[in-house]
Amino acid sequence: MKLQVLQPDESKAGPVPDEAWFVGRVRMHAREGSPDETDIRAVFFDAGAHTRPHIHSVDQILHFVRGTGFVVFPGEERQLMPEGSLTIVPAGTLHMHGATDDGPICQLSILAPGPTDWNPPVPDEWRQYAQSQ
């Protein structure tokens, strides 16, 4: 068995699968593997860049490896995630995450196989983030 190692490397990061899923400049460096394996990606967000509202069908682990980012849920304040922070976003939870305006970040996103809904119903205060601009 060959050990797979993902060393986040921004120089190896490429475009995101769909730019409509993000606000601002975002790049990804993904572990190589098949679709039935755990998805592990180093995601590089420029300052102020973030995901649009979305829901995963499985728990998502977010590890903020460089810079201070955030995670936010409807009706709550943004929760700052300092460098080194790790959180689990429960399956079925509407959320957004990304970089603060203070600087770029790199986060690891770890997901078991399962669909993501990028067009879920969103609360009124998030409508501005729900559609691509």
pLDDT interval class at 43 (50, 70, 90) = very high
Number of domains in the chain: 1
Beta bridge partners of 99: 69
> CA-CA distance, 77 to 40, in Å (whole number)?
27
The answer to the question of residue 78 being in a domain is yes
User: For 112-123, how does the pLDDT look when each residue is reduced to its tens digit (9 = 90+)?
Assistant: 999 999 999 998
The yes-or-no verdict on residue 36 having pLDDT over 90 is no
Give the residue carrying structure tokens 């060959």.
Answer: 2
Residue 89 is assigned to a structural domain of this protein: yes
Q: Average pLDDT of the chain? A: 91
Residue 125 lies in a domain: no
Residues 6+ apart with CB under 8 A from 5: none
Which CATH number belongs to the domain containing residue 56 in this structure?
2.60.120.10
- What gap in Å lies between CA 47 and CA 25, rounded to an integer? 8
Q: How far apart are CA 24 and CA 22, in angstroms?
A: 6
The secondary element (H helix, E strand) that includes residue 107 is: strand 105-111
| pLDDT above 50 (res 35) | yes
Q: Has residue 65 been placed in a domain?
A: yes
Q: Is 42 a member of any domain?
A: yes
Query: For residue 67, what are the domain limits?
Result: 35-117
